[in-house]
Amino acid sequence: MADPSSYRPKPGQIPDSPGVYKFCDEHRRVIYVGKAKNLRQRLANYFQDLSGLHPRTRTMVTTAASVEWTVVSTEVEALQLEYSWIKEYDPRFNVKYRDDKSYPYLAVTLNEEFPRVQVMRGAKRKGVRYFGPYGHAWAIRETVDLMLRVFPVRTCSAGVFKNAERSGRPCLLGYIGKCSAPCVGRVTPDEHRELAEDFCDFMAGRTGTYIRRLEKEMTQAAEDMEYERAARLRDDAGALKRAMEKSAVVLADATDADLIAVAEDELEAAVQIFHVRGGRVRGQRGWVTDKVEAVDTAGLVEHALQQLYGEETGDSVPKEVLVPALPEDPDAVAQWLAGRRGSQVSLRIPQRGDKKDLMGTVQRNAQQALGLHKTKRASDLTTRSRALEEIAEALGLETAPLRVECFDISHLQGEDVVASMVVFEDGLARKSEYRRFQIKGFEGQDDVRSMHEVIGRRFKRYLQDKERTGEWEETPAVSGPAPAPVSGPVPAPGEPVPAPAVDSPEEPREDDGRPKRFAYPPQLVVVDGGQPQVAAAKRALDELGIDDIAVCGLAKRLEEVWLPGDDDPVVLPRSSEGLYLLQRIRDEAHRFAITYQRAKRAKRIRSSPLDAVAGLGDTRKHALIKHFGSVKKLRQATIDEICEVPGIGRRTAESVAAAFATAAPAAPAVNTATGEIIEEDDGGSTT
């Protein structure tokens, strides 16, 4: 625990201008980002008597080891820079909203020559028009199915579209009138794009124009005694009305607005957002967050606005944003929103009428979401805390291991040897810090030696980062260069220290406060294995001079926990939450390692002796495989038989035969579950 006075800047050093500040811990990792109208006044609040600080703020300032700031011109710039830094550094003491689900959107790909209507999830793409989010993907498909009667826009994938284009025959939707079939030229690109834009206009709320037009055309067709066309137009208008009925009218004045409500307690907060377009609720989403910083409702609203609109532009930012409490500086936030939209945005609290009633509905949804989240997580929080305490007690640790790293080795009969490193913090997986390794020091199967290499590489990089950031404590002056972390035995005094080796290119190289770093050490290292693997891991740490990180191993056979130097394992009860957490960590490391190993093996198997034939491209490779049916049959073919393949001359056939003659026959693939040999498929790879 650091003393804030040890890194407190002198009062004259801090400017009284607007700006953004960040607190960093001893490993140079950014742990908190904030903004201020006056940096001097705001930072002074953090360096008062610790007893007067909020408990969360006190924890943050005692965890930090330094503070930095950047001066900006306006409060709007401060808001923008704060959002950028929070997104870049992912500080642990800032509020971070988690979506309680992955929401589907109705998307129209206006960036393509022939726009496509489809369901999309995940990050938004440039040039794509989005509507939603929706609660369920089937709701989008029902809406699209109704609207394709009137707006027959393409919905097929690129592959289906190209196949139809080559064959000259449209898909089923083209035959039943639910696609204008641009793939076969029934409409021009401009006509199809006009249909897509009409579809977007209708979804954006401009519905009355199209329904009135259909009704007028229906009446005219009936007067002209074109009764079949009139019936079809009547059905089209009915389909549009049914699509509109799926989203009820909540505001009579065709308002475009987002309504944000917050439900909170001392530990957590839930945020609910209703997206209203054209007076109808077009989408709904929710977030849940831990209150890791001392923040009130206004602060939660400001963070929600940053996350909701930080990547949005244009009409994705509505004209009106209704909130339960205004941020600390509402004018600056409204100006920032206006900059994202390109026109004025109203940010206010609804006081009366339909908008206030609808805000009450959003608030009830937020309260229900918080209650549901707490019901799901209450037992989980208690269980994780108890598990970490049991592990600390069983291993004789002074404190609970809040960060645990687990390593596993994976290979197939000594080939494609790889290793994995998974990270759990507070009992939860932190997948952004997972790492994978290729074993480079030797070839063959040796799990103990592999574990020694991986642990050495991981913590050698940790020491190198400490040295680069100035945290490495140099020994008193001796001959030769200053000590540096190396793998292998520590040199005796007076001996030159070898330069540290450059580690794998898969590992990060910079140290600028970002969270995905090797430089952040664990309290506990878990290895998948028994006494030999634990001894190898401990020996690697000893060779690097690291003695403040605990090591244990979990053997699969009896789920025994092994400690370095102990002849007998630690046996945790089968009902122990600590054992269950160690098993989950070990199984996650095994899954991550075997996934990487299988990917490397599949890549190696996909290689073929044909790759070594000069001048033989993919087209002629496919022609050879197609002609003979498999690589196995091609390997057995004569030069004359190979010459029968169209496009293969005598010289090329001789090169192919020579390549197979010099290449060692591939070992047969074996199903490890049944023991049967798996034959090669037509592409020459095992399945």
Dihedral sign computed on CA atoms, order 398, 400, 401, 402? negative
Looking at residue 220, its pLDDT comes to 83
- Find the mean pLDDT for residues 24-47: 88
- Find the mean pLDDT for residues 502-508: 39
Note the pLDDT tens digit of each residue in 56-108: 788 888 888 889 888 888 888 888 888 888 888 888 888 876 654 566 788 89
For 280-303, the DSSP string reads EEEEEEEEEEE--S---HHHHHHH
- Find the mean pLDDT for residues 427-434: 86
Looking at residue 598, its pLDDT comes to 82
Looking at residue 682, its pLDDT comes to 39
Q: How far apart are CA 584 and CA 299, in angstroms?
A: 36
Q: Residues with Cβ < 8 Å from 318, sequence gap 6 or more?
A: 256, 257, 258, 275, 276, 277, 341, 345
Dihedral sign computed on CA atoms, order 295, 297, 298, 300? positive
- Find the mean pLDDT for residues 40-47: 87
Looking at residue 106, its pLDDT comes to 84
Give residue 151's pLDDT band: very low, low, confident or very high (50, 70, 90): confident
- Beta strands (DSSP E) in 15-154 are 19-24, 30-36, 66-71, 98-99, 105-108, 117-120, 129-131
Is pLDDT of 422 > 90?
yes
Looking at residue 495, its pLDDT comes to 40
12 DSSP β-pair partners: none
Q: How far apart are CA 363 and CA 373, in angstroms?
A: 15
Edge-to-edge strand ranges of the sheet holding 346-348:
98-99, 280-290, 268-277, 257-264, 320-322, 346-348
- Find the mean pLDDT for residues 659-678: 52
CB 69, CB 14: distance < 8 Å: yes
CB 267, CB 290: distance < 8 Å: yes
Maximum average pLDDT range among 347-351, 438-442, 662-666: 347-351
More confident residue, 436 or 379: 436
Looking at residue 476, its pLDDT comes to 38
Question: Measuring CA to CA, which residue among 300, 252, 285 is closest to residue 101?
Answer: 285
Three-state SS annotation for 273-284: EEEEECCEEEEE
Looking at residue 536, its pLDDT comes to 92
Residue given tokens 């500086």 in the structure block = 329
Looking at residue 378, its pLDDT comes to 53
Look at 141-145, 542-546, 612-616 and tell me which has the smallest mean pLDDT: 612-616
- Find the mean pLDDT for residues 269-290: 81
Looking at residue 607, its pLDDT comes to 62
For 617-676, the DSSP string reads -HHHHHHHHHHHSSHHHHHH--HHHHHTSTT--HHHHHHHHHHHHHSPPPPPEE-TTT-P
- Find the mean pLDDT for residues 605-620: 71
Question: Measuring CA to CA, which residue among 523, 517, 514 is closest to residue 433?
Answer: 517
pTM: 0.53
Pairing between β-strand 257-264 and β-strand 280-290 as defined by DSSP bridges: unpaired
Is pLDDT of 201 > 70?
yes
Q: How far apart are CA 654 and CA 214, in angstroms?
A: 70
Dihedral sign computed on CA atoms, order 377, 382, 388, 391? negative
First to last CA, the chain: 55
Note the pLDDT tens digit of each residue in 110-148: 889 899 998 887 777 888 888 777 766 776 787 788 778
Q: How far apart are CA 191 and CA 196, in angstroms?
A: 9
Question: Looking at the chain, how many residues does it have?
Answer: 687
For the stretch 654-659, contacts whose Cβ atoms lie closer than 8 Å and that sit 24 or more positions apart, written own/partner, are 655/613, 655/614, 655/616, 656/610, 656/613, 656/616, 656/624, 659/609, 659/610, 659/612, 659/613
More confident residue, 66 or 295: 66
Note the pLDDT tens digit of each residue in 329-344: 888 899 999 988 888 9
CB 24, CB 3: distance < 8 Å: no
Q: How far apart are CA 564 and CA 553, in angstroms?
A: 9
Q: How far apart are CA 83 and CA 33, in angstroms?
A: 9
Give residue 222's pLDDT band: very low, low, confident or very high (50, 70, 90): confident
Is pLDDT of 499 > 50?
no
